[in-house]
Structure 1
Amino acid sequence: MAGQRRRFWDRVVHLAALRRWRAAAAGMTGADPVELRRQRSAARALREPLDRLIHFADGRLALPMIGSQSFPRPHDADWAWRPEIWTGPLARPGRSTVPSGEMLGREATLFHDCAISELTLRQLRNTREADLAPYALRLDVFRFDGSYLSLALDLPEQAAQGLKRRHLIRVDAIVEMEKPLEIFLRLNIKHGPNVEQLVRELPLHEADRRVEFDLAYTKLNEKRIEKLWLDIIFEGPEMNQVILRDLTFSRRPRAEI
């Protein structure tokens, strides 16, 4: 109740001040110089904090909302997901000289076989108008003396629940890079003692950077599915910077013929 009363009086004071300044602006052509000088000083004192508030609010409200799971997905999708790296702030947003097996957050792990790591990972806040994901992931690679570099993403339990061979799993990505390189996506599905693996190249030359994994081409034991994870494999990454602006997953059943 006290909070409502305070908000009411704040609004009354705000409307009264607004009416006063509108009246001053309307009557400024007939104001004497002394009064006009006083009003100008008062207006300048108000303008500085108001400009700062407007600038901050415009920047904050223009960004994608933290925690957003909003992204385009098939209309018949029965599961969709954006990993935490692209959804909310991590407790530790960056790593340098990243060793193999180092985790970023709870879902992502970087793997490589470099003798000396000259790799950095950093979570960035997306600020572009076109961005739907609140955050991005930047990978900087300097000297690279290894033979492979990959980022493994653990999918949640929901991805395995009800998964069938008639499903298609789609991955959409928004990627930026300093110079061209090849990126492959490998979907791994553990079922009992076996792991099914499907590999697709991310079509970086196309407008829709998307791949689909058709589980019909696997020998998946639907009754023993335990977990899924995705390997993002970077080919020839030396002296490059790659920014994954967004990465999303969706699952849908294949149309029956």
Structure 2
Amino acid sequence: MGKISDTFWDTALYRRTVQRWAICARDAGQTKLDVLRHQCTRARLLRAHLDRLIFTAEERLAQPISGPATFPRPHNADWAWRPELWRGPLASPGIAAVVNNSKLGEQITLFHDCGDAELTLRQLRNLRAEDLAPYGLRLDVFRFDGSFLSIVVDLPESAVEGLKRTHILRVSGNIELERPLEIFVRLNIRHGPNTEQMVREMPAEAGDQTVEFDLAYAKLNEKRIEKAWIDLIFEGPEMNQVTLRDLTFCRRPRAQL
């Protein structure tokens, strides 16, 4: 009986809350400004909680049709991560005529120096049985008159917590190309006033690809590491379509000799 009562009151409260906000939205054009300001503050707070709930719920519910929801990583990896764009639906899933320094979600930024950007960037749903990520990223490039095009992925704080020169950082992606394209992966690590950069070329063929960065060759001040990010650099991208079905990162300590 208690469960039935709770369900009844929960449903009644939900309906009253929805009705109240519907009335507030309908009357917003005539509401007194002091009342409207209060409503707006409360609505923003409510929206933040709802957006977080929706993202987490859809991330868990939108798993691939088949196949595991995780991704391969070394057995001794001490950090692994898949960016949000490949985990769950974004509030704004795409951008047309992408201008320089355009963000898609919180972690993906596209940079270029085109005078007239004929580019589109959008999130898409992965539906193939072999896809491990629920979502992917598609970049369409038409006429391109610039000298560089790159997608920047900001790594989270957890990526640099405890990061040392004894680590190896792995970047893995599943790539589809309309035609052959050179793709370079650049690791950037900011430590104090300096930024260390390491570049690797992604294998040219489509499919699952991996590059690794051995930080033993980096000139890092381990005590001052602040931030890290990855550049995916596309050479000669004109009239091409690039689909990143998945993009994952992990790090592991190098085997000690």
Q: Same fold (TM over 0.5)?
A: yes
* Aligned residue in 1 for 2:192: 192
3-state secondary structure, aligned to 2:241: strand
* Aligned residue in 1 for 2:155: 155
* Aligned residue in 1 for 2:252: 252
Contact 1:125 1:136 in 2 (8 A): yes
1:52-63 matched pairs, under 5 angstroms: 63=63
Contact 2:174 2:206 in 1 (8 A): no
Q: Does 2:187 match 1:180?
A: no
1:1-257 matched pairs, under 5 angstroms: 1=1, 63-64=63-64, 70-205=70-205, 208-257=208-257
- List per-residue Cα deviations over 1:90-142 (Å, max 9, x = no partner): 00000000000010000011000000000000100000000010100000000
Moved over 2 A (4+): 1-4, 204-208
| Identity among equivalent pairs (%) | 67
Partner Cα distance (2:128, 2:202) in 1 = 23
**Letter in structure 2 aligned against 1:190:** R
Contact 1:189 1:228 in 2 (8 A): yes
Of the structure 1 ranges 197-206 and 77-86, higher mean CA displacement relative to structure 2 is found in 197-206
**What is the RMSD of the two structures over their aligned residues, measured on CA atoms?**
2.1
* Aligned residue in 2 for 1:20: none
3-state secondary structure, aligned to 2:139: strand
Aligned residues: 201
Partner Cα distance (1:220, 1:240) in 2 = 37
TM-superposed CA distance for 1:2, in Å, is: 7.1
Partner Cα distance (1:141, 1:170) in 2 = 27
Partner Cα distance (2:207, 2:96) in 1 = 32
Contact 1:94 1:121 in 2 (8 A): yes
**Letter in structure 2 aligned against 1:101:** N
Contact 1:69 1:82 in 2 (8 A): no
TM-superposed CA distance for 1:205, in Å, is: 2.7
**Letter in structure 2 aligned against 1:166:** T
**Letter in structure 1 aligned against 2:115:** A
TM-superposed CA distance for 1:63, in Å, is: 4.9
Partner Cα distance (1:168, 1:97) in 2 = 37
Partner Cα distance (2:228, 2:62) in 1 = 34
Contact 2:192 2:226 in 1 (8 A): yes
Structure 1: segments with no counterpart, 5+ residues:
5-60
Partner Cα distance (1:135, 1:207) in 2 = 16
TM-superposed CA distance for 1:64, in Å, is: 1.6
**Letter in structure 2 aligned against 1:173:** G
Structure 2: segments with no counterpart, 5+ residues:
5-60
Q: TM-score, normalising length from structure 1?
A: 0.74
